[in-house]
Structure 1
Amino acid sequence: MSKVLIRRITLIILTVITFNSCQKDGFYISKPVAENEAQADISTSSSPSGTTYNHYHGLYIDSTSSIMGDTVKENSLLRWCLSKRINTLSFYDLTQAMTPAKAGHLARFLKLAKTQYGIKENTAVVGSDAFISSYLDSFNRSKTDTLERFNTLNLEKEWWNGDGTFKNYVKILTKLKQWGRAQTPMVKTEEYIGWFVRPSGKELYMANELVKNSDRILVHVYQQALSFQYVLGRLSYLGQAAKSQGKIFPIVIIFSAEPGFSADYFRIYDFEDAYGIITSGYLNSDFPGKENIKLVGYQIFDYSYAKSVKPIMLW
């Protein structure tokens, strides 16, 4: 038997095994995902092996416009997501991806991701409320099929690094939430945050404003040697804010696959292992506000870096 034939047979066997495994684990969906399922905030599920996986496995997509409309790139992205149990995609580069030449491809991709690859949420990463009125509102409204729409907004504007003031940030966040609440079905609002600075000494004030004006918050753990201590302070402020508002607030942990952060770690360990370090620290610690936050999963920055350090292994 030739080496080429052996390789082909091996690839077919591995493909069947992967397909069956994904069906059993619930990450391949052969029928459209109902909109209420896409909006559900599910915490955990178990695989046949008994390993517990959190239901939020997110990924930032860089260079969205260069992927949409390129079937090879689209399929490569979706296959990678399936192999890594990704079920939430957050899209950068949407200004270019929503041009007339690309918008149709983007809408089709969102529906395909939801209905065939178990990706329940498709998130638009935005930096201003002007983007909503200029692009996203018309994009979503033009789609009678709600599966072709974005169902989450993510505000990424680093006030802590000097990109505007916190006061202005909250104004934008409030407008995003108001827009999302006015949509049918509702579009959730979340944000990525770094540090509670600018202004200093106002940590609880800032945490209260963020919790009040969003449905979920993403907090980064950008390290080489991952540790819960790195994120504990920020989680405590958010938890105390949630307690004051009578909420149990969902938190997503962001890891970076960039060189200088967790790239070397992810070449050896899985994303789930990194998340396990943080959840273990959470479970074994005691801090103000702990009972009012809920770690619901992790987000990876970003696709280009992640696929480089964790490629799909065929054999």
Structure 2
Amino acid sequence: MRKNLTYLKYFIAIPICFVANAFATEPVAFLTSPAQSEITVNVGDSVKFQINASDADGDLLGIDWYGNGDTPYSQIWWNVEGEPNRTNSVFHREHTFNSEGMFTITAQVYDANYTYAPNLVFNVTVIGGVTNTTPLVINTSPEQHSVVINVGESINFAITASDVEGNLAGSEWYGKGDNPFLQNLNSASGDENTATFSREHTFNYTGNYSITGLVYDDQYLYTDAVVWDVRVDAVSVDHSATVPSTLGQRALYIDDFDVVLSSTENTDKLLAHIQAHNITKLTVYNLHTQLPSKSAEISMFIFNAKRLGVTSVGAAGGSSVDFDRVMTYQHDDNFPHKFDSLYLEYEYWNHDPDVNNFVALLDHMSIVGDDMEIEAYLGWLNEEDYAPIANRLDNLFLHCYVQDPSSAFSYCKERMKKFGELNKNINIWPIFSAEWRPTSTCDNPPWSEEALCFMGKWLELNGIADAENVFMEKYNTDSGIWKSGLNIPGFYYFAYTFLDAEVGSPETPDYTELPVSVRGDWDGDGDVDIIGVRAFM
């Protein structure tokens, strides 16, 4: 019997709850300030509107305010003046009227059931008073708004503005990567009545730029935009030859190797580039398309490159099949001039977060590569990847792709530091990319995220040696003890076609000016030779 009574209790309780909601009362609201619903104010005046509200159920929730251009402003019951109270509350909203006209301010009070009290409406007439006017531009610098300068030059853009009300507040500047640059009155020259706002830019790259400046007052009324169109021209400097690296070595990736080997002219152009820029180390791409069909040409290319000062030529690959193909060439006695290293380019951090496959490829290279040096390209590593990779490499080529070498060391410092702290005495070659493509994008910053705008333009304007010197100056000023755990033999450049497009080189090598390093027994007769004539292809 008690069990049945329990069910009866719940059966009765549920409908009683709904019946109670059916008798909820709507809130009551009335104006308290201003006392009249029709008011007249002057331009610039502020009015504090106040609504008293009550609800017999004690479930006041909030108020919506509309008018004066506001998208509705909602004020909840606890955001009120005085002690929050859901039975009796005072809601308020302040407006400043900055222009003449007729305005309507509407308030709607509601409870937790979203039952609304009748609308309360204020009609506001705004008449003349002190009208805020827009600041005016009275002078600009440069006066000419189409400007032509050379790379590396700076321009100080300036706008002098005045404001009748004496309310100047600041300026905004857009262009050349600004997003935007804001300057307040405190950093300008002048006062609230008349002031000069300025923004200086240094233009390090050729191209066309647009610089825009606007001055505003404390009511955010803006002057007309002032726009300068700037064309930045290159300074004609010949960087088609480079002094030897102060570190002793300089390295180059060779892309489009099939094009290089397709004609004597193309091969000579690459060899001339190697000689002119004192390249001592090479890494050759695309061998899977050239081996075994071009084995003879590859052997002769290695021969001639080493006559011009190259001490090491690496074979690039991305799989065990690639390296097995290279080793077939290495073991073929018909081709006497061999590769010196095996180089792995497999961006596992983009494709396979597990480093194990990468490490397995390095182990395969070490097994099949006889006494060849093992090398790899590295971008971004996980913390646990550094040690197993360092244990397997002779040379590490580290991604340092930036637009300006002044930021290159900071860009790759942490990765260099982690390798240095392992004390493996590993050789780390920072890689600078000479890419600047597509030109239509790179010459017109700001650049899209996918644009390949790296150091190409900087190298065109400043040359290879300066890039290396800038990096090493930053590196040498760092006092970290981690540097004792690594070596920097030189810098790597990606890649031949991009670098030659930016710095240039002669069309043919000069075999009458050979470095001492090419002395050797080239003809196999047991004597030391100094080759002074071109080997026939």
TM range (shorter): 0.7 to 0.9
Equivalent position SS for 2:489:
strand
1:92 paired residue among 259, 263, 285: 285
Equivalent position SS for 1:90:
strand
* Alignment partner, residue 454 of structure 2: 261
TM-score (norm 2): 0.44
TM-score (norm 1): 0.74
Higher normalized contact order (CA 8 Å, seq sep 6+, divided by chain length): 1
User: Per-residue displacement from partner, 1:145-181 (whole Å, max 9, x unpaired)?
Assistant: 65x111111110001112563111011011112222x
**Aligned residue type for 1:166:** V
* Alignment partner, residue 328 of structure 2: 138
Conservation of the 8 A alpha-carbon contact between 1:224 and 1:262: yes
* Alignment partner, residue 37 of structure 1: none
* Alignment partner, residue 272 of structure 1: 465
**Aligned residue type for 1:224:** Q
2:345 paired residue among 156, 163, 166: 156
> Is 2:395 aligned against 1:216?
yes
**Aligned residue type for 2:375:** E
Q: Going by fraction, where is helix more abundant, 1 or 2?
A: 1
* Alignment partner, residue 237 of structure 1: 418
* Alignment partner, residue 83 of structure 1: 276
> Is 2:257 aligned against 1:64?
yes
Alpha-carbon distance in structure 2 between the residues aligned to 1:280 and 1:137: 40
Conservation of the 8 A alpha-carbon contact between 1:69 and 1:106: no
**Aligned residue type for 1:142:** D
What is the percent sequence identity of the aligned residues?
Answer: 24
* Alignment partner, residue 372 of structure 2: 187
Conservation of the 8 A alpha-carbon contact between 2:426 and 2:486: yes
Alpha-carbon distance in structure 2 between the residues aligned to 1:313 and 1:113: 15
How many Å apart are 1:123 and its aligned residue?
Answer: 0.6
Aligned residues: 250
How do residues 111-126 of structure 1 correspond to structure 2 at under 5 angstroms? Answer: 111-114=303-306, 116-126=307-317
Deviates more, 1:293-302 or 1:137-146: 137-146
CA separation of 1:225 and 1:69: change in aligned 2, threshold 3 A: closer
Alpha-carbon distance in structure 2 between the residues aligned to 1:178 and 1:285: 38
User: Per-residue displacement from partner, 1:69-105 (whole Å, max 9, x unpaired)?
Assistant: 51111111101110011111111110111132x1111
> Is 2:354 aligned against 1:173?
no
- Give RMSD over aligned pairs: 2.2
Conservation of the 8 A alpha-carbon contact between 1:194 and 1:220: yes
Alpha-carbon distance in structure 2 between the residues aligned to 1:173 and 1:275: 29
Conservation of the 8 A alpha-carbon contact between 2:421 and 2:485: yes
User: Per-residue displacement from partner, 1:125-151 (whole Å, max 9, x unpaired)?
Assistant: 110122122x111101003665x1111
How many Å apart are 1:288 and its aligned residue?
Answer: 5.3
How many Å apart are 1:313 and its aligned residue?
Answer: 6.4
* Alignment partner, residue 425 of structure 2: 248
Conservation of the 8 A alpha-carbon contact between 1:64 and 1:93: yes
Q: Going by fraction, where is strand more abundant, 1 or 2?
A: 2
Alignment gaps of 5+ in structure 1: 1-17, 26-46, 198-202
CA separation of 1:67 and 1:276: change in aligned 2, threshold 3 A: same
Bigger CA radius of gyration: 2
